[in-house]
Chains A and B, each alone.
Chain A
Amino acid sequence: MPYVAEKPRLAPSSEELRARIPGWGVDLDPKDRPAVPKENFNPSATGARWDFPERQTEKWSRERSIEHKFLPPVFGTSCPPQGLSGAVRRYAYRYSEARASHWLLLMGADRINVLESRIQALLSGRPDSRIKQTGVLSEFTHRGVQSRFGRGRADTKHHWIDAVGFVAPYAFVAGAAYMLLRSRANKQRRQQQ
């Protein structure tokens, strides 16, 4: 109880734990823990043989945080910013990481980027396949129903939102097609009258 000085004795003895659990206490001494102390200055242990790394070639104007003094010497070259999403991304990098604008603009650019890529895929003749890309067929091969229901999972309370999200675009397209066809049929009927 915390109401008195003595700590509650709820744990088995160390001897008992050592006998039951392989390796119990081998890192009990903080000296055996590799990240104690947290900061351990030892430049010779890293494998680097340079004071400052040689610079990688910058093949396009690489976007960078304005909190950096300069472009760091090494950087990733995946997916250079392109199109409208690229413009929004570049704009986002005018703000520091401390500003919500920076992150919210990047999140917005991510969504635009998805839309751009959908259109691009459609035009290139290799449209995105919802069924293949979501891996949803594994629901049938990896016990989808049994895995989700009757097991007290907390996340099943909001799984219906995913299902609605998955079906919503199809329902929207079907609804729009139905409205269009109905409006045409009504128009034809009026013309015949």
Chain B
Amino acid sequence: MQAMVYRGPYRVRVEEKDIPPIEHPNDAIVRVTRAAICGSDLHLYHGLMPDTRVGMTFGHEFVGVVEKVGSSVQNVKVGDRVMVPFNISCGSCYFCTRGLYSCCHNVNPNATAVGAIYGYSHTCGGYDGGQAEFVRVPFADVGPSIIPEWMSEEDALLLTDACPTGYQGAEMGSIKEGDTVVVFGAGPVGLFAAKSAWLMGAGRVIVVDHLDYRLERAQQFAHAEIINFTHVNDIVVYLKRATDHLGADVVIDAVGAEADGSFFHAVANNKMKLEGGSPVALNWAIDSVRKVGTVSVVGAYGPLFSAVKFGDVINKGLTIRAAQCSVKRHWPRLFEHVRNGYLKPSEIVTHRLPLEDVAEAYHIMSSKLDNCIKPILFTTH
């Protein structure tokens, strides 16, 4: 089969690989029809995630058709059109039984501080991902869901990570009616976080980024107020003024490890890989939220240390909520929102490329070329 493979920082190519075998009775093999490149894939692509091995296939957002199932699989069958959450979860550990699928303890030998994610380095379990023609899906009775007849494949694809992650970002903010919500980052997750904040009754939603084309999308797609932080002298002071000096009730960090806005951190983190993530957006979130407010973090960070202003967290009495999204838990409610037209996830897709062009797709996404927000790869079986 054809599969994307990592060849080192900023380098990927398509190679012939063996079709993955069934390795466990509850495995399924899925023939991938669509896969997306996630903003967090760029952390791997840029060589920021420890234990990212040459030869690995990335891709934790994918949908496809069940090709083969293991002997104990009952909930899906060959030929089913399925969407697969980016988390791999056993369904029976301490965490899964409490709905915390992203923290599953039975699927990642390499680390206890994170669950397992498809195609996301050995730190996240060493599973090949879905930017390929076929992918192994462990615990097929727990993770995948059959795509409803009425749902488009691209909506389903966006529901495997970006949309529920943004929704959970807003949910963790414990938004109350009339709250002012600031979202750092107008990428896919930030757009969905902003949109979801309204569903939870926000009074104002302000999105911050440095890319005008993304901010325009935030305005159109998520009805948000927008501000380009390069247009103001100090974004924290700007946000304080915009909230009559109180600060936002809730701030969502939807940027994560490669936040821009500081040349020092861009070099120390992105170029020299000396931090577990640039803390710029997170520190701005801490500074711009009001005292005793909530900072919700859904941007991805690596396991190394970062220079986070924790003194301000304590002194301001903040609540910090953070998590990888437990996708499957959110699906029933998000399916309703898609069906009712409150969310149309596929609206943020900007680029569609064949799997063979994966190197170009990564470069376009990484370099933010051609107003790129969300590129999708399709296979031509």
Contacts and interface: CB of A to CB of B under 8 A. Distances in A.
Contacts, number: 316
Interface string A12-24: 1010010011111
B260 to A, nearest CB: 4
B246 A7 contact: yes
A75 B107 contact: yes
B332 interface: yes
A64 B128 CA distance: 17
Interface in B285-313: 290-291, 303-305
Given A34-B330, A77-B126, A154 B370 contact: no
A136 to B, nearest CB: 6
B110 A74 contact: no
A5 B271 CA distance: 47
B25 A54 contact: yes
Contacts of B56: 78-79
A78 B53 contact: yes
| Main DSSP-derived SS at the B contact region | loop
A130 B11 contact: yes
Interface string A90-116: 001100010010011011011001101
A191 interface: no
Interface in B127-145: 127-128, 138-139, 141-142
B260 A54 contact: no
A100 B302 CA distance: 12
Interface in A62-88: 62-65, 67-68, 71-79, 81, 85
Interface string B90-113: 111000111111000111111111
A9 to B, nearest CB: 9
Given A103-B304, A138-B363, A152-B212, A75 B198 contact: no
| Main DSSP-derived SS at the A contact region | loop
Contact of A47 (B51, B141, B198): B141
Nearest to B15: A126
A78 B7 contact: no
Interface of A: 1-3, 7-8, 10-12, 14, 17, 20-28, 30, 32-36, 38-43, 45-54, 56-57, 62-65, 67-68, 71-79, 81, 85, 89, 92-93, 97, 100, 103-104, 106-107, 109-110, 113-114, 116-118, 128-130, 132-139, 141-144, 147-148, 151-155, 157-158, 161, 165
30 contacts: A8-B244, A17-B203, A23-B199, A23-B342, A25-B177, A26-B337, A28-B200, A30-B174, A34-B334, A46-B92, A46-B96, A48-B139, A51-B92, A52-B106, A72-B106, A76-B116, A76-B126, A78-B128, A81-B53, A89-B122, A93-B110, A128-B11, A129-B13, A139-B369, A148-B367, A154-B229, A154-B260, A155-B266, A157-B263, A161-B271
